Amino acid sequence: MSHPSTYEPNSGFEKWLDARLPVVRVMNDQFITFPTPRNLNYWWTFGGILTFMLISQIATGVVLAMHYVPAADRAFDSVEHIMRDVNWGWLLRYTHAVGASMFFLAAYIHTFRGLYYGSYKAPREILWILGVLILLLMIATAFMGYSLVWGQMSFWAVTVITNLFSSLDAVVPGIGTRLVQWIWGGFAVGGPTLTRLYSLHYLFPFLIAGVVVLHIWALHVPGNNNPTGIDVKGPRETLPFHPYYTMKDGFALVLFALLFASFVFYAPNTLGHTDNYIPANPLATPQHIVPEWYFLPFYAILRAIPSKLFGVAGLIGSIVVLFFVPWLDTSRVRSTRYRPIYKWFFWAFVVTCFVLGYLGSQPPEGVYLILGRIFTAYYFLFFLLVMPVVGWIEKPRGLPGSITEAVLGPEAKPQAAPRQREPEAAL
Amino acid sequence: MIAAPFGLALAASFALVLLSGAAAAEEPHAAPKIEAQSWSFNGPFGAYDTAQLQRGYGVYKQVCANCHSMRLLSYRNLGEKGGPQFSPEAVKALSEEIQVTDGPNDKGEMYQRPGRPSDRFRSPYANDEAARAANRGALPPDLSVMAKARPGGPDYIYALLTGYKDAPHGFELAQGMQYNVAFPGHQIAMPPPLIDGVVTYADGTKPTVDNYARDVSAFLMWAAEPKLEERHMLGARVIVFLFVLAVVMFLAKRVVWSNLHAKHDAKPRLDSPIT
């Protein structure tokens, strides 16, 4: 939240700099003394974890790009060259590949957290929309990065996904096909496709970094939401970001790094598909084309809808609907904690995402297809029906009067609440 | 409660998902179940058995290499740490067994020279078309990363090499195909490659198909994942470091936050977990 600056330049140089480019002041006010609600739980640590993951992906990716060759006949071998002959190449590549999975794991937890605690509601709509935009850019970036390996699954995933644009032929005959050929740079997925995927895979992470800056900016205007969803009522209910949340986020980050490292060092290929160790072959289609785990729910939605055009619309809609969440939810209360009916629908939605993920990994036939349709229907109904209607008919549980009261119990009236000297002094 | 019938429906669908998974496993065209073997490189501290890799290379060289290339490997890899670790002399001798086309020389002509450790493994065929022509249309795949390119990895390769059986009654076997319990679809173009005694072992290991299959599977695992030992060793250090750092961070966090709690009479946790 906007708060008076506490930065006082000490040395002559700091004063000189502060009058010209107050970076030190901004860093101090936004990342040291920034007033943060004191009741944030560990679900709030994923923002810091995601920042770390973005930096890790860019750092490993930049070095990998020094050794990778984006040519159709050399890409696969250059990846193996990195694994075998480049110093620490195996570590860079596994960190980058597993890192993509970890990035999505953290992003999904972060998104579900925002959804549960109503962090998208006023005044944080722009913050949420920027977050969805980041998710969209991440999906594009991860897809393009996966294609660069140029194994069988890379190649056929590119073929399937780029071919989705040909569904536009159903709208204006010929336009879809022309669009797909323009994307391919030819009449089939090939060398020109690979080089443009490579170029964009290098560009997009920096777009993400740019939107992340805006996302943090939009966070720092209204300040953090918190598990109660109640607005902060005064300086007593906040703590300076440092050292309280730097330490808490830091601890969570190390735990996350432990999970990350376990995969990198002991199960680097578990999250990938074995077919991607077969060099791309345009003449042999894999028996089942499946995306990486983090795309499986969307893949299930795509295949659940019988028409190709509407399947693509469903795929795109499953992300785009998130942009409208701030206005679809009609509840007056932010946190699901105080929403006795919505709570059930929320957890059913979480289960739905997991089930769709499982269904996306199975062939689209028989009972899998039927279930895919049921759960796809719920995915959309949750946003388009449950959110507006339940918010309207539900009577929320009584909200606590303040964050302090929510944490310490009703007997702790604001005036009886203990005084915090250090944080206020820091403010 | 509005949600109760809905939750019930959801639970029922979920049960259906689990059941359908079980049903899928029984489908006839599903991939055969591959039994997990005990390998020296399994587990977080697993490492390759150097003698096994050397024997496995022998099996590859004398049997597999007649049809299968390993184009990503060089002879020098055979002497590297974490691999078969042949002596430099042995690596040099192995590489010199092949003739390599090099050039052009200063007259613009290509010439033949003995192999060097930096040369790639010799491929049995000049190109894929030649390989198909020599194998009735079937292409023997490159084995460089085979142990990572099939579900089950080395377990699958072992199961495949020991999986040649007589076709069950009523199984339609196409012309020139073999029945194999581990191969998806059970029809494989590769004839049984291993016979007891076909490769001589110098270290006294019994020359059986089972040992050949085991050794060459381990060798192919190394070929696909040559930095596995380095990875396991570095991993142990990283995990220990992160674990200690986690404890330090946990304590630091507690000390920092306890400043707040100390001011209270009661001891409520302000960072209460999600409810």
Q: Which residue of A has its CA nearest to B29?
A: A287
Across the interface, whether the CB atoms of B3 and A40 are under 8 A apart is answered no
Chain B CB contacts of A265 below 8 Å:
44, 231-232, 234-236, 238-239
ipTM of the complex in this document = 0.91
A139 is a domain residue: yes
Residue B189 sits in a domain of what CATH number? 1.10.760.10
B190 is a domain residue: yes
Residue to substitute from A266, A281, A346, A381, interface B, most B β-carbons within 10 A? A266
B69 touches chain A (CB under 8 A): no
- What are the CA-CA distances from residue A35 to residues A2, A5, A126, A422, B257 (Å)? 9, 11, 20, 13, 15
Across the interface, whether the CB atoms of B260 and A239 are under 8 A apart is answered yes
B267 is a domain residue: no
Q: Which residue of A has its CA nearest to B152?
A: A274
Give the domain-ending residue among A255, A289, A323.
A289
Q: Which of A251, A337, A359 is closest, CB to CB, to B250? A: A251
Domain boundaries, position A382: 292-396
Across the interface, whether the CB atoms of A251 and B72 are under 8 A apart is answered no
Residues A325, A179: one domain?
no
How far is the C-alpha of A228 from the C-alpha of A47, rounded, in Å?
18
A150: left (phi over 0), alpha (psi -120 to 50) or beta: left
Residues A67, A206: one domain?
yes
How far is the C-alpha of B27 from the C-alpha of B38, rounded, in Å?
28
The model's pTM: 0.91
Counting the structural domains of chain B, the total is: 1
Query: Given pLDDT bands bounded at 50, 70 and 90, which one contains residue B33?
Result: confident
Q: What are phi and psi of B100, to 5 degrees?
A: -120, 135
DSSP string, A255-304: HHHHHHHHHHHH-TTTTS-GGGGSBP-TT---SS----GGGHHHHHHHHH
A49 touches chain B (CB under 8 A): no
pLDDT one digit per residue (tens) for chain A, 427 residues? 467 898 999 999 999 999 999 999 999 999 999 999 999 999 999 999 999 999 999 999 999 999 999 999 999 999 999 999 999 999 999 999 999 999 999 999 999 999 999 999 999 999 999 999 999 999 999 999 999 999 999 999 999 999 999 999 999 999 999 999 999 999 999 999 999 999 999 999 999 999 999 999 999 999 999 999 999 998 989 999 999 999 999 999 999 999 999 999 999 999 999 999 999 999 999 989 999 999 999 999 999 999 999 999 999 999 999 999 999 999 999 999 999 999 999 999 999 999 999 999 999 999 999 999 999 999 999 999 999 999 999 999 999 999 988 887 776 554 444 444 444 433 3
Chain A CB contacts of B145 below 8 Å:
80, 277
DSSP string, A171-196: TSTTHHHHHHHHHHTSSSSSHHHHHH
A20 is a domain residue: no
Query: Given pLDDT bands bounded at 50, 70 and 90, which one contains residue B273?
Result: very low
A82 is a domain residue: yes
Domain boundaries, position B69: 50-73+120-166+178-229
Which residues partner with A279 through β-bridges? A151
Residues A52, A158: one domain?
yes
pLDDT tops 90 at residue B125: yes
Residue A127 sits in a domain of what CATH number? 1.20.810.10
Q: What are phi and psi of A304, to 5 degrees?
A: -75, -25
B248 is a domain residue: no
Counting the structural domains of chain A, the total is: 2
pLDDT tops 80 at residue B30: no
A112 touches chain B (CB under 8 A): no
Res A422: pLDDT: 42
B44 touches chain A (CB under 8 A): yes
A42 touches chain B (CB under 8 A): yes
Residues A273, A312: one domain?
no
How far is the C-alpha of A239 from the C-alpha of B21, rounded, in Å?
50
Residue A244 per-residue DSSP state: I
Across the interface, whether the CB atoms of B231 and A265 are under 8 A apart is answered yes
A86 touches chain B (CB under 8 A): no
Across the interface, whether the CB atoms of A366 and B20 are under 8 A apart is answered yes
Q: Map residue A68 onto helix, strand or coil.
A: coil
How far is the C-alpha of A409 from the C-alpha of A264, rounded, in Å?
44
Angle subtended at Cα B42 by Cα B37 and Cα B46, rounded to the nearest 5 degrees? 145
Across the interface, whether the CB atoms of B226 and A84 are under 8 A apart is answered yes
B211 is a domain residue: yes
